[in-house]
A and B are shown apart, each in its own frame.
Chain A
Amino acid sequence: MAVKLPIYLDNAATTRTDPRVVEAMLPAFNDTYGNPGSRNHRFGWESEELVDTARRQVADLIGADRKEIIFTSGATESNNLAIKGAASMYATKPAGEKNRGHIITAAHEHKAVLDPVKRLAKDGFDITILEPPADGVITAQMVKDAMRDDTILVTIMWANNEIGTINEVPDIGALCHERGVVFHTDATQWVGKMPTDVNKDNVDLLSLSGHKMYGPKGVGALYVRRRRPRVRLTAIIEGGGQERGMRSGTLNVPGIVGLGKACELCALEMDAERERLYKLRVKLEQGITGQLDHVQINGHAEKRLAHLTNISYGFVEGESMMMAVKDIAVSSGSACTSASLEPSYVLKSLGVGDDLAHSSLRMSLGRWSTDEEVDYTIGKVVEAVKKLRELSPLYDMHNEGIDLSKVEWQAH
């Protein structure tokens, strides 16, 4: 069967909205357009019903109570609310003072976690940023070693967006509960892919996003634990007092309905989907690594999401790789794809050398990925690497036995 181009292998960046989700959203545009905050007429009540259903669908996917779901504009907002909101609520000293409390995070978190944490550092909080080991997995022991008497918040992502590695969230949560520390996890890449139970997994605050799990963009949620322990947050967005006062603003009803439907579908389908995508990923990895030397799969071999792989290709550069596989949508850790000249900080934090960090591609499979697409991708990637190595002075030098780390490069 001929493969249809272009091929989308960037599902960790965003996913196509499932047509069933779009279908579910339409009535919220066309018919049920009331403001769920309007308590005194039918239009409002009907919208509120839609939101209630969605709240239950989201809660069910993560084992939460529907009252614990706060709708937001996406995971970035959820992270900001969780981190800034918890820090402000649990600060040991008022604003303007120093040593207001200690916060733990990790160097390979998403910027939507790191930047709020860095903001808090300026606002008088003490920050520990854990350096991940080479396999990328943050363990409970690492968090334990960083804990202090004044630690108020730990924020560690569930699965990493660039390399798919899975941190020891349930154990980190258990540790935090023992110590009476609030635990937040950015679960953007995790929820909808992997079974989640906020109670068994000891999570207090959990960020999730619609568009990473076949829902619409512009909508997400924050789970906020209500019992054992009850977690409180200071609101960031203030106004009409929606979402129990934690997030004001008229609810994005169509988006919320879409998020709910996406969660319902994930709950039904993710186990079979994960198994299918895992087989495709293994095929992809084996197909590529079996035909090329000097390639490296980044991150822990097993503790990784089923649908995502990040591979470094020695002696070739990431952007030229992307040009060579231009019919396949992938993501590069290369500096040349962005305005900054720094290669991926995530790979660097794992100790991947700058040269290999420049040469890495992330490929993430999704609901509509096929066997044929994987076959085509293997062929294209192998061909591209071989072509670019023909061009690469580094590959020549390596093959002639020159140690590249000992060459005196003229950095510019």
Chain B
Amino acid sequence: MAYGKKIIDHYENPRNVGSFGTQQEIKERKDVGVGLVGAPECGDVMQLQIKVDDQGNIEDAKFKCFGCGSAIASSSLATEWLKGKTLDEGLGIKNTQIVEELSLPPVKIHCSVLAEDAIRAAISDYKQKNGIQTADEAHTH
């Protein structure tokens, strides 16, 4: 696989692997937002979790990923970038930035899209749990 150094580094030393509890626990925890995207039959499933403090800052992030090296690297990078950001700043992370940072080859761009989807899903899960109106909802109303 003609992968760049950064992908291989994230693959070999993935950052922030883990979970803030069992599936049931993270579903119930109000300070945790979970994004589960992808499907096993497509060969990629990403689970991204954010832990948010009282001020609405993402104080910690964790991931698990079933997928190729690029998918693992994209989700690992996403957790690094999310830490310390506000929710709105988190929503500002774009897949194109991930592509650029990791030098993802064209056939692997979908991995970065999946990572962006996971970020959005995790943030929207947190907002839903805490009764915060999401940008999407505000838009449609």
Q: Which residues of A contact B (CB under 8 A)?
A: 315-320, 322-323, 334-337, 339, 341, 343, 353-355, 358, 390-397, 400, 402, 404, 409-412
Q: Is the CB of A409 within 8 A of B107?
A: no
B26-66: which have CB < 8 Å to A? Answer: 36-47, 64-66
Q: Is the CB of A402 within 8 A of B23?
A: yes
Q: Given contacts A317-B67, A412-B114, A412-B117, are A396 and B19 in contact (CB under 8 A)?
A: yes
Pick the residue among A320, A322, A358, A402 that contacts B40 (CB under 8 A): A358
8 residue pairs A–B, Cβ–Cβ below 8 Å: A317-B43, A335-B43, A343-B43, A354-B42, A393-B46, A394-B66, A402-B23, A410-B37
Q: Given contacts A320-B11, A396-B23, are A339 and B42 in contact (CB under 8 A)?
A: no
Chain B, interface SS category:
mixed
Nearest-neighbour CB distance to chain A for B77, whole angstroms, equals: 14
Measured between beta carbons, the chain B residues less than 8 angstroms from A393 are: 36, 45-47, 64-66
Query: What separation, in Å, do the CA atoms of A411 and B11 have in the docked complex?
Result: 23
Interface string of B2-19 (1 = CB under 8 A from A): 010000100100100101
Pick the residue among A316, A320, A322, A411 that contacts B39 (CB under 8 A): A411
Measured between beta carbons, the chain B residues less than 8 angstroms from A400 are: 22-24
Query: What separation, in Å, do the CA atoms of A334 and B68 have in the docked complex?
Result: 9
Interface centre among B3, B11, B42, B110 (most CB of A within 10 A): B42
Q: Which residues of B contact A (CB under 8 A)?
A: 1, 3, 8, 11, 14, 17, 19, 22-24, 36-47, 64-69, 71-72, 107, 110, 113-114, 117
Measured between beta carbons, the chain B residues less than 8 angstroms from A358 are: 40-41, 43
Question: 5 closest A-B pairs (Cβ-Cβ)?
Answer: A354-B41, A409-B39, A355-B40, A393-B47, A319-B68
Q: Is the CB of A409 within 8 A of B1?
A: no
Query: What separation, in Å, do the CA atoms of A390 and B68 have in the docked complex?
Result: 15
Q: Is the CB of A394 within 8 A of B40?
A: yes
Q: Is the CB of B66 within 8 A of A412?
A: no
Q: Is the CB of A410 within 8 A of B39?
A: yes
Query: What separation, in Å, do the CA atoms of A392 and B38 have in the docked complex?
Result: 13
Query: What separation, in Å, do the CA atoms of A411 and B41 have in the docked complex?
Result: 8
Q: Is the CB of A404 within 8 A of B11?
A: no
Q: Is the CB of A317 within 8 A of B68?
A: yes
Pick the residue among B19, B46, B107 that contacts A339 (CB under 8 A): B107
Measured between beta carbons, the chain A residues less than 8 angstroms from B114 are: 412
Interface centre among A323, A334, A396 (most CB of B within 10 A): A323
Interface centre among B41, B68, B114 (most CB of A within 10 A): B68
Q: Given contacts A393-B66, A412-B113, are A334 and B43 in contact (CB under 8 A)?
A: yes
Known: A320-B71, A412-B42, A412-B114. 17 other contacts (CB 8 A): A320-B11, A320-B67, A320-B68, A323-B3, A323-B8, A323-B11, A336-B43, A336-B68, A341-B43, A343-B41, A354-B40, A355-B41, A391-B65, A396-B23, A400-B22, A411-B38, A412-B37
Measured between beta carbons, the chain A residues less than 8 angstroms from B8 are: 323
Query: What separation, in Å, do the CA atoms of A394 and B19 have in the docked complex?
Result: 13
Query: What separation, in Å, do the CA atoms of A400 and B66 have in the docked complex?
Result: 16
Q: Is the CB of B41 within 8 A of A319?
A: no
Q: Is the CB of A397 within 8 A of B44?
A: no
Q: Is the CB of A391 within 8 A of B64?
A: yes
Nearest-neighbour CB distance to chain A for B36, whole angstroms, equals: 7
Measured between beta carbons, the chain B residues less than 8 angstroms from A334 are: 43, 68
